[in-house]
Amino acid sequence: MEDHTSDQSNNSANVVRSRRITAMILVLVAIAALLGQHLELNFGRLIPLMLGIGFIAWSLLAREWGLLVPGGILTGLGTGLVAQQVLHLNRDVESGVFLLCFAGGWILITMLSQMAFGRRVLWPLWPAAAMAFAGLVQLAGADFWQWFRWLRPYWPFALILVAVFLWFAKPPKRES
């Protein structure tokens, strides 16, 4: 005689999990609609943020690590779009803020994967670093570009210094 109680309890848990995910998505849509009414936000700009938060909630409730990737990307993208609309800054500053928010979404993938799943995922930090650097350059404005023009002829020397260091530096000893 087979024991169907474990199958029924697993099925029941899946139903509860699915209902909670659906409830979370409905709450997010309702919050976005309320924010859109009271903050005069373009509802279309809230969609990526809502989807990102929805994917993160889905990931956490379903215990699926892979859903954090679209969740983090869409959350960062959506936060950047909302920040652009809310802050009303000049175009260069808005672009810088957008890129920093987008970088934050990539960092969110690393942070949540460690906190929620105990999984150390570092690859999202590469696009985050590139976007954060680009955002900071946008925020720095004309002063940075003047400094960069002055420094531009010397960057090959920095590469040579790094190459010389790598060539002659001894690797650290590993302790067994």
Q: Is 56 exposed, middle or buried (0-12, 13-18, 19+ CB in 10 A)?
A: buried
Return the domain boundaries, the chain.
5-167
Residue 160's pLDDT is: 92
Considering the chain, what is the average pLDDT of its residues?
83
Model confidence pTM above 0.75: no
What pLDDT does 4 receive? 58
Helix, strand, coil proportions of the chain in percent (round to 5)? Answer: 85, 0, 15
Q: Tell me: pLDDT of 41 over 70.
A: no
- Window from 36-40, 66-70, 79-83, 93-97 with minimum mean pLDDT: 36-40
Please give the Cα distance from 54 to 30 (Å, whole number): 12
- Rounded CA-CA distance 109/106 in Å is 5
Q: Which of 160, 170, 71 is nearest to 121 (CA)?
A: 71
